[in-house]
Structure 1
Amino acid sequence: MNGTLLRGLFDTFAHLLINIAPNIMEKKYIFLLFLSLSLFSFGQTNCEDANSDLIYAYSNVKSSYDSNNISHLKYYANKSLEAFNRSKKSLENCGCDAAYNLSYDAAELLAKVENEATFEDGRFYVKRAREIAKQSITELDKCTVPTTETNDLLALENEQERLEQMQNALKAEEAAIKAKLVAQKQQTLALKKEVLINVYKQAMSSNLETYNSTLEVCDCADKPLKDVSSNTDEISTKSLEDIKSHFIENMKDLASNYLAQLDLCLDD
């Protein structure tokens, strides 16, 4: 219930009491009731003003904490500091000592941000002030009847934090899945290379054996042909196409050496 509405109800109620007082009560009871309602209205108004200032202070200290540079950090920290300083008088009149002390502590921390040279040092004080700001709102709620606006804001904030945590968890899971897929892709490629290299090496070995056997039959085996393939570890660093090209060139060289050996036999 806002302060304007309370004051309106109070004025109406006081007017009725004054009109019927001569018949049902002494003037001193009217005065005491008048004073009680007045104090309640005044205190409730101050608590509502303080609540607005604390919510504004918390919003700005959160923006300061979420900023990514020192200029924005100090800008929002200063706006939050101003709101906390405004809230002190209202909190004092509201009578909520716990919220007042927390507001004082938060203002003390935020006052140090302006003189900090680095983003990290300033953010250290902002982080502490942010937590205290949230606590000050909670403590003020304990001192007053919780308003729908405050409850909705805190519920929204909690829901936002929950959604952010879920989003971060999903991002982490997505990154893990991507890393796993990359590892599987690399493992599959390595296996394909290994199979391809073994197939070509077996073909090379078979050709080499056939060529040397033929040369021996032709009495041309003075200089047996040798496998000129590179080291397997070295070849495996190449792409699949490069591996294929490498072995085809080796087979061509082996075939050329074989034919050259046969030509030498004819010359002899």
Structure 2
Amino acid sequence: MKTIFCTLCVLAFFSLTSFSLSEACEYAGSNIGFITSQTEKAIDAKDHQISRYHTFKALNAIEKSRKQFEACGCDYALDNINESLDNLKKATRTSTLSGSRILLKRALEYALGSLEAIEKHDLHDSKYGSDVLVMNTTGLEIKEKNRIKPSSQAFYKKIDESLIDFDNSLNHLIMSLDCNEAKAYCTKVYENCEQKLLLPDLSEGKKYYNLKTKEIVARAIKKLEEKCD
């Protein structure tokens, strides 16, 4: 049940985010999906060494994502992910599986807290405070800070257009294949995008391509859950 809840949180992030968030915040939020999935696997592991293996994968993913979190500029998200990192490190030093699980559960909660902070980043930045909806303010400073240059907009638009066929094909695929096959395919593509987004030297174009591909697949997975349940 916990795993399903965490997965839904990450999928919700993709359904709610838009270009109101900076690119760095989008990438940071995207990488949290991999961090939480590895932490969940560490919690569910029956063997201590397997748990440590997944813990280190989550830990390394945070380290690789540090630049995105810092560039995002959300102190709440950064504080939470640092707390998650601290608990993951402590979990690797425990001598028992039960002891590490306590720390891993804390790490997972902080990671999800970081994701929530990124979703509400515009509210944190707003001079009107979190009690006033962003849609009721002009938010000019935020919009200016996160605005994409015209040349970049054209570049990203081309990538978006190139992914339309993939989106249509994927929708056709999940309707024609049986649930297990469709889930296996979507999961493989989703995890491949996660791995690519963790690469430190990935170009901006490839980052954007993999981020948007991941969002498309996340929506497909949500449709599959509705279809197959």
TM-score (norm 1): 0.38
TM-score (norm 2): 0.44
Structure label with greater radius of gyration: 1
Higher relative contact order structure (alpha carbons within 8 Å, sequence separation ≥ 6): 2
